[in-house]
Amino acid sequence: MRKTKYIHISDLHLIDRGHLYGINPISRFKKALESIKKHHNNSDFVVITGDLSDKGSVKSYEILKEAIDSFPIPIHLILGNHDSRSNFLKVFPEYENSNKFIQYLKEYDDRVFIFLDTLAKKNTGGKLCKKRFKWLKDRLKENSSKPLYIFMHHNPIESGMYLFDDGGWGLEKRDKFWELLEKYENIKHISFGHIHQEIMASENHITLNCTKATVHQIAYFTSLKEEYLTIAEDPAYAIIEMKKKSTRVSWHKFLKDEEIFQE
């Protein structure tokens, strides 16, 4: 089994035009793609873990499609709480399937990657309804002999940030989610978004990572408050490299690509 490498981007918050918190989301996303193409063109794929759009408009998904259509590395998309499932499918009909959610599998080098849809309409928090949970349960059972990796938008673990943990913004019924995953020793890693921060963690035998957004970040030092502060920390994407017995996660702050110093 050879090494597999993927790039993890999250929380684009694309808008039809203009700026969000003083940032141009479209420009930021395109800079991320340029950086990946320049420095990580040996990646097997790129995954964007939700909040593709800020308001879920058709136009924002058209902007996304135009940006990624000619990208030389496969890009896989899932949805976050800011997204609209119906508007997304108007622009990306290839993601429509019989389970009615944006959930699917991909396989690279005998590793299986599971893409989940945790979007709950009119709710910042995430959800795996009975139908989605059963779909996940069936897929885990079918692939119990291969290394498994999961992608989702909402945090399935405590983040240390009040709103995402006790404030109802994370994945609901986390205990049930982990009761299922604990049955499968072949689940290796989970990548998620939503929090707009870099996090590396482990839960039982599974490692997890979150990555910063391509737009604004959320201050981690507000973790004990019932609010959050948007801050101008540099954006980043994560680089995940998997070998037979190891997973390595690193981050690249792509706005600093040209600031290379030599003595």
Query: Is 127 domain-assigned?
Result: yes
Query: What does DSSP say about strands 148-152 and 111-115: parallel, antiparallel, or unpaired?
Result: parallel
How many structural domains are present in the chain?
Answer: 1
pLDDT, residue 261, reads 58
Mean pLDDT of 204-219: 95
Q: Which residue segment(s) compose the domain that 8 sits in? A: 4-256
pLDDT, residue 104, reads 97
CATH code of the domain containing 78 = 3.60.21.10
Q: How many CA atoms lie within 13 A of 166 on its CB side?
A: 8
Q: Predicted confidence band at 259 (pLDDT cuts at 50, 70, 90)?
A: low
pLDDT, residue 166, reads 83
Mean pLDDT of 137-164: 94
pLDDT, residue 186, reads 96
Q: Predicted confidence band at 141 (pLDDT cuts at 50, 70, 90)?
A: very high
Query: Is 249 domain-assigned?
Result: yes
Supply the mean pLDDT for the chain: 93
Query: Is 261 domain-assigned?
Result: no
pLDDT, residue 198, reads 95
pLDDT digits (tens, 9 = 90+) for 97-118: 878 899 999 999 899 999 999 9
Q: Predicted confidence band at 152 (pLDDT cuts at 50, 70, 90)?
A: very high
pLDDT, residue 257, reads 74
pLDDT, residue 121, reads 85
Q: Give dist(CA 155, CA 263) in Å, integer.
A: 42
Cα 92 to Cα 55, 84, 85, 189, 194, distances in angstroms: 17, 12, 10, 27, 22
Query: Is 243 domain-assigned?
Result: yes
